[in-house]
Structure 1
Amino acid sequence: MDNALYVGLSNQMVLKRQMDIVANNIANADTNGFKFESLMTKTVPGAPAFTAGGPRPVKFVGADGVARDFGQGTLRRTDGVFDVGIEGQGFFKVTTKAGDRFTRDGHFRTDDNGVVTTQAGDPVADDGGGQITIDPSKPGAISISPDGIVSQGAERVGKIGVYKFDSLSALEKTGDNQYQNASNQQPVPTTDSKVRQGMLESSNVNPIVQITKMIEVNRAYEQVTQMMSSESDLSRNSVARLGKASSN
């Protein structure tokens, strides 16, 4: 019976982790370019606590990493001059103090020096890895073409880089809706995606699906808890009966 409790406990730990991921998805339903995540699970063989002719090994439940869906989110119009959304695959590259990071969040601005940056002030890379600078003293409206070329009036001032990876498994989440390259893969500029000025990519989270998933996880946790409670009561009653039998 101890084995059932240990298996139930391992299941509870996985369900708690799953609930955290679902809750994070819901919390980021309005985050620009956010990609929803799912917990992968596996069976983990382990030595039984005690068994008399029972299965060996006992199969516990374990987490097997987090899967991320990089599917396209809806592009919504904002009319912001430096708001850009990616239509297709790829990521913007930004330069942070911790190194290069990649994101689908195109809610950009310019700093005091005219450098195009994220809202946190990290420079946005052009297709060559450099910075894009707007001269505020020059006239001319800012336009960004579908291939990422940034123009100030009739003058080209840079090109927003959109980079892709051969395998998205190279990307590791670092926070602030950004990813780092955790592999030896070299990102390359993509040519088959479009950059849409005045638009931002919405999160690809479906709130209804995630709320339904949250209810399912909560019910599963309650069922496991009830099973463990029943096993504990059975064990306690068995010990009590054995104690009475030995005293007679």
Structure 2
Amino acid sequence: MPVSALHVARTGLEAQDARMRVIANNLANIGTTGFKRDRADFATLAYQDARVAGQQSGENTAYAVGINLGTGVAIQGTSRINSQGTLNGTGNALDVALNGDGFFEIEMPDGTIGYTRAGNFTLSGEGQLVTSHGYPVQPGIDVPEGAQSISIAEDGTVSAVLADDAEPVQLGQITVTSFANPNGLQAMGNNLLRATAASGDPQQGVAGVDGRGKINQGMLESSNVNVVEELVEMIEAQRAYEINSKMVSAVDEMLRNANQTL
């Protein structure tokens, strides 16, 4: 029994350490554009059945309850909370925010496609609409040199007034991509996500159509991290860690007494 209790306490320490890492990452990214907080999910480990409920206890009787001893806890996964972040005005014509579901599509240096909620875009030296890391937004948007009054509509249509034209000219359209299971997307860093078998196939379409979010120009979506909520969870994780540490000390004392007695 004491050895089993040590194992259970150890799993508790490891689980709470993982939870603290998730909380720390959430708090570290409180100012990251479009960041979605993560939540650590836990599951019980296998139980040891010393006696099964319903097992015969006598010739005409059966045990009403069993003896099931848990073996601890393990982290089951981390769930991304995709709730909407606050939209903050920036006044920058190339800043865009998604108000609703979906992701912007980004071409990676290796030719693969990444997805992001961060719409702090800019122009490359060639006039192409890119992320802050220089990755092109897809479909590609090329802004001619000297273009003025760049406008991005709610459906993603990009227009600008060119040097020789009095009326705005359409340059392209930013699309929005949705997934059947956005929690299945794999985080890659740099505000980018990758599609996986769990996320389902990307469904690219027009912003504001079929449940996709609308695009708001001159705004950025802040992270959805709630500082108070994260601090409460941090305190709870600290207390759980302390309790498991005390369990290790208590079991160690029990083993010492048993060795001295025997």
TM-score, normalization: structure 2?
0.84
Is the aligned partner of 1:107 residue 2:159? no
Q: Aligned AA for 1:104?
A: R
Per-residue CA deviations over 1:149-196 (Å, capped at 9, x if unaligned) read: 111111000111111112224411111121100125232215242111
Q: Name the residue aligned to 2:144.
A: 135
Is the aligned partner of 1:144 residue 2:152? yes
Matched ranges for 1:38-117 at <5 A = 38-45=39-46, 58-98=70-110, 99-117=112-130
Gaps of 5+ in 1: 243-248
Query: CA separation in 2, counterparts of 1:135 and 1:188?
Result: 26
Query: CA separation in 2, counterparts of 1:42 and 1:170?
Result: 19
Query: CA separation in 1, counterparts of 2:248 and 2:24?
Result: 25
Matched ranges for 1:28-43 at <5 A = 28-43=29-44
CA drift of 1:46 comes to 6.5
Q: Name the residue aligned to 2:54.
A: none
Give the fraction of aligned pairs with identical amino acids, expressed as a percent: 33
Q: Aligned AA for 1:215?
A: I
CA drift of 1:237 comes to 1.1
Q: Aligned AA for 1:103?
A: T
Q: Name the residue aligned to 2:226.
A: 206
Q: Aligned AA for 1:74?
A: T
Query: CA separation in 1, counterparts of 2:191 and 2:8?
Result: 35
Query: CA separation in 2, counterparts of 1:133 and 1:202?
Result: 27
Is the Cα–Cα contact under 8 Å of residues 94 and 102 in structure 1 kept in the other structure? yes
Query: CA separation in 2, counterparts of 1:20 and 1:186?
Result: 30
Matched ranges for 1:165-244 at <5 A = 165-183=179-197, 184-190=200-206, 191=209, 192-242=212-262
Q: Name the residue aligned to 1:119.
A: 132
Is the Cα–Cα contact under 8 Å of residues 16 and 237 in structure 2 kept in the other structure? yes
Secondary structure, in 3 states, of the residue corresponding to 1:102?
A: strand
Is the Cα–Cα contact under 8 Å of residues 177 and 202 in structure 2 kept in the other structure? no
Is the Cα–Cα contact under 8 Å of residues 170 and 185 in structure 1 kept in the other structure? no
Q: Aligned AA for 2:44?
A: T
Change (3 A) 1:36 1:198: same
Query: What is the root-mean-square deviation of aligned Cα atoms in Å?
Result: 1.8
Q: Name the residue aligned to 1:246.
A: none
TM-score, normalization: structure 1?
0.89
Is the Cα–Cα contact under 8 Å of residues 87 and 222 in structure 2 kept in the other structure? yes
Is the Cα–Cα contact under 8 Å of residues 11 and 72 in structure 2 kept in the other structure? yes
Q: Name the residue aligned to 1:245.
A: none
Query: CA separation in 2, counterparts of 1:149 and 1:58?
Result: 57
Q: Aligned AA for 2:108?
A: T
Q: Name the residue aligned to 2:177.
A: 163
| Structure 1 outlier segments of 4+, above 2 Å | 54-59
Secondary structure, in 3 states, of the residue corresponding to 2:138?
A: coil
Q: Aligned AA for 1:224?
A: N
Q: Aligned AA for 1:188?
A: Q
Q: Aligned AA for 1:133?
A: D
Comparing 6-15 and 56-65, the one that deviates more: 56-65
